[in-house]
Chain A
Amino acid sequence: SQTIHQWPATLVQPVGSPLSLECTVEGTSNPNLYWYRQAAGRGLQLLFYSVGIGQISSEVPQNLSASRPQDRQFILSSKKLLLSDSGFYLCAWGRNNSPLHFGNGTRLTVT
């Protein structure tokens, strides 16, 4: 069966520090991969999606970037964090015409 792993579960980082969140998927190949952010009291906002290795599409302009160095690995990064980057980050995988499957998320607090 397919599983999705996200780490770390929680992270506290100072303003201006770099960020790297990792997501890996097991049990499937060539998935569509997604990064979502959930700000406090708000719905989920799609940040990035990828349909293949090295293929990244950004949905909103921001301080973050994403990369897909391997088929089942999706990384969310920042060179310098802002206070506004705080939130709950969720990775998800899917295939056309199927629901998305989400990881357990990373709670990021920028201080």
Chain B
Amino acid sequence: ELKVEQNPLFLSMQEGKNYTIYCNYSTTSDRLYWYRQDPGKSLESLFVLLSNGAVKQEGRLMASLDTKARLSTLHITAAVHDLSATYFCAVDMRGSSNTGKLIFGQGTTLQVKP
């Protein structure tokens, strides 16, 4: 059974600081996704990582994937208040059936303080 674990689950940080959110998963997969959710809102796609060593960057966020370590990271550079949200990683349930089912981590709630 595929399990996806994020840490930390809650992160309070000062503006201007750097930090990393970790996403570990338990079985083989080569597709990983990051989403952002603002309070009371839906989920918005941030990054799609489709191979070992994939790195994607958008503004102050950078995501990477190491399929051998079964680990993805979401790095935040010089955080600003607008980045306050909950971030989810999700892993494709790799198997013989091409269903696109995703297993989500618990989410990391990021709070950026002035």
Are A and B a genuine interacting pair, yes or no?
Answer: no
| Chain A residues in the interface with B (C-beta under 8 A) | none
| Chain B residues in the interface with A (C-beta under 8 A) | none
